[in-house]
């Protein structure tokens, strides 16, 4: 998958390569009326071209997976994606899903380089989409949200609800329509779209349906990444020595806070002396493994769990799902 | 414009994958050795890649591009984390699968471990996560006309 994605991204970046080595802003032009017409009102920066290349590559990769899903056996499922592109003194971090990139700085708070895309964070987008396309709900779900999920004995009574276009609450008389399951249900890591999936962006999942039905999940999922830009050009190598990007899946970030990860990272690195070259070159490898092992916890009678409270929450969380 | 892909440092077990990218050293000798050119995949290559994957899931990744390390071979400092010692004990008891380090183009699948009834935290279907690091071979040093705040690494958002 990585290779195929690189091919998509490479083609996109090659298409804007001539812009990247010239000064912007860039304007669209047309050859109509036997001449060249410029549209100077639209300023296109190099950053926006690179962001566009990433977004386009994400979309094409998702489409490639869709086609391969139809063409080959066994090519199914989906995944979250986070990409770091180093280009011209900047890092472009493209994220679709709940994997995460974090900039860890020694003796300073960490800086998140991506935002998670979950039913919780994209509640508004999902509900608007459901409201505008009720046929996607298969008659089983509703785009409304309720303070308390209505039951049959509430029919005819006033209940608090909010429609997709609302952020506040309002009373309405409960009808059979209100007994349907909300398209986004639950909170935090337990939130789900169509009672099925807990992440709203990424690649694949073209074949995923609501359990025991033909209601497809994919129309509510997006492959569009959010792209953030980290400018390194103003910093010397010395300044960047204590700045490290940690990219991890939700298996890490569900149980390890950003600043905790940063602390583990630098604690490990501090154990390696530059004079011991044999060991020194493995310091980042060891740090990555320490983060993995910290997230995984210890193996006990009841399986893997962390020694502190967060691990217990993890196991409880898994059991509840 | 030729681009390359590398995983500077990666570790993965189960659904936990971590990639560490030191900003100061992403062009250092340590990391450059990992850089590999990515060939364009023609249709026949894709056919081969995916047809193999359908019969054997592990072959989605070119195995020649994966380096595997045993945790013990890394000689970690015992003071770093007591986890290391416990890992070795568990390995001796064969309770812990050997951790594998991915350095190429795909995360490594690890031998299944004894798990309590854990399900994926996001979906009822197993999901894999992907993390990719790209780096251009030739960085064209061009000044962006758009001024940016450069006192601290600045995170801007374009959506």
| Mean pLDDT by groups of 10 residues along chain A of 321 residues | 77 73 56 51 77 93 88 80 84 92 91 93 93 92 91 91 91 92 89 92 91 91 93 79 88 91 91 80 82 78 52 29 23
Q: What is the pLDDT of residue A18?
A: 66
Q: What's the Rg (C-alpha) of chain B?
A: 19
Whether A22 sits inside 8 A of B38 (CB atoms) is no
Residue A34: φ, ψ to 5°: 55, 25
Provide the 8-state DSSP code for A174. -
As separate numbers, helices (DSSP H) first and strands (DSSP E) second, chain B gives 3, 6
CA distance A101 to B156: 14
Whether A271 sits inside 8 A of B105 (CB atoms) is no
Query: What is the chain B residue with the closest CA to A49?
Result: B158
Q: What is the pLDDT of residue A306?
A: 59
Distance from CA of B82 to the nearest CA of A (A): 10
Q: What is the pLDDT of residue B110?
A: 45
What is the longest distance spanned by two Cα atoms in chain A? 79
Cβ atoms of A319 and B117 closer than 8 Å: yes
Distance from CA of B110 to the nearest CA of A (A): 13
CA A263 remoteness from chain centre: 24
Q: Could you tell me the two tokens for A44? A: 């296109």
**Residue B121, SS3?**
coil
Which residues of chain B are within 8 Å of residue A23 when distances are taken between CB atoms? Answer: 142-143, 145
Q: What pLDDT tens digit does each residue of chain B (159 aa) get?
A: 234 444 555 677 777 888 888 887 554 433 334 434 334 445 555 555 444 444 433 333 333 333 333 333 333 343 334 444 555 565 555 544 444 444 434 444 444 544 444 444 454 444 444 444 454 444 444 434 344 444 455 555 554
Pairing of strands B128-136, A78-87: parallel
CA distance B61 to B49: 8
Q: What is the pLDDT of residue B67?
A: 39
Which residues, including other chains, have CB under 8 Å from residue A149's CB and lie 6 or more apart? A182
Q: What is the pLDDT of residue A317?
A: 28
pTM for the whole thing?
Answer: 0.66
A-contacting residues of B 31-90, CB under 8 Å? 38, 40-41, 46, 49-51, 53-55, 57, 60, 69, 71, 74-77, 79-81, 83-84, 86-87, 90
């Amino acid at each position: 998958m990585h290779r195929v994605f690189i091919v998509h991204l490479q083609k996109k970046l090659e298409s804007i390569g001539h812009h990247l080595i010239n000064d912007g802003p860039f304007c669209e032009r047309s050859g109509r009326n036997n001449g060249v017409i410029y549209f100077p009102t639209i300023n296109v920066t190099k950053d926006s071209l690179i962001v566009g290349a990433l977004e386009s590559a994400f979309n094409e990769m998702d489409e490639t997976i869709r086609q391969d899903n139809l063409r080959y056996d066994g090519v199914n499922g989906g995944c979250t994606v986070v990409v770091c592109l180093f280009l011209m003194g900047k890092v472009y971090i493209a994220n679709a899903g709940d994997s995460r990139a974090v900039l860890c700085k020694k003796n300073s708070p960490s800086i998140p380089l991506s935002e998670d895309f979950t039913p919780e964070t994209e509640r508004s987008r999902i509900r608007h989409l459901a409201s505008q396309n009720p046929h996607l709900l298969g008659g089983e779900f509703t785009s409304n949200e309720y303070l308390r999920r209505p039951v049959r004995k509430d029919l005819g009574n006033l209940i608090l609800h909010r429609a997709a276009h609302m952020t506040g609450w309002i009373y309405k008389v409960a009808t059979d329509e209100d007994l349907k399951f909300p398209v986004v249900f639950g909170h935090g890591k337990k939130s789900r779209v169509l009672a099925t999936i807990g992440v709203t962006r990424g690649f694949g999942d073209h074949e995923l349906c609501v359990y025991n039905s033909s209601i497809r999940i994919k129309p509510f999922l997006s492959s569009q990444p959010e792209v953030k830009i980290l400018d390194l050009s103003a910093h010397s190598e010395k300044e960047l020595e204590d700045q490290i990007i940690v990219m991890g899946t939700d298996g890490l970030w569900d149980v390890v806070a950003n600043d905790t990860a940063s602390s583990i990272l630098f604690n490990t690195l501090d154990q390696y002396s530059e004079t011991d070259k044999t060991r020194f070159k493995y310091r980042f490898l060891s740090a990555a493994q320490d983060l993995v092992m910290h997230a995984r916890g210890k193996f006990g009678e009841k399986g893997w769990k962390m020694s502190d409270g967060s691990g217990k929450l993890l196991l409880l969380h898994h059991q509840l799902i | 414009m030729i681009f390359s892909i590398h995983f500077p440092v990666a570790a993965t077990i189960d659904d936990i994958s971590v990639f560490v990218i030191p900003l100061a050293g992403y062009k250092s000798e340590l990391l450059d050795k990992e850089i590999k050119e990515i060939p364009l995949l023609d249709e026949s290559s894709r056919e081969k890649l995916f047809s193999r994957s359908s019969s054997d899931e592990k072959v989605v990744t070119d195995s020649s591009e994966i380096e595997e390390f045993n945790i013990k071979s890394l000689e970690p400092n015992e003071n770093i984390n007591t986890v290391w010692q416990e890992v070795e004990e568990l390995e001796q008891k064969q309770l812990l699968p050997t951790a594998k380090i991915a350095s190429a183009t795909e995360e490594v699948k690890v031998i299944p471990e004894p798990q309590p009834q854990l399900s994926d935290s996001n979906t009822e279907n197993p999901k894999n996560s992907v993390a990719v690091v790209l780096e251009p071979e030739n960085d064209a040093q061009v000044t962006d006309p758009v001024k940016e705040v450069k006192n601290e690494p600045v995170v801007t958002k374009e959506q």
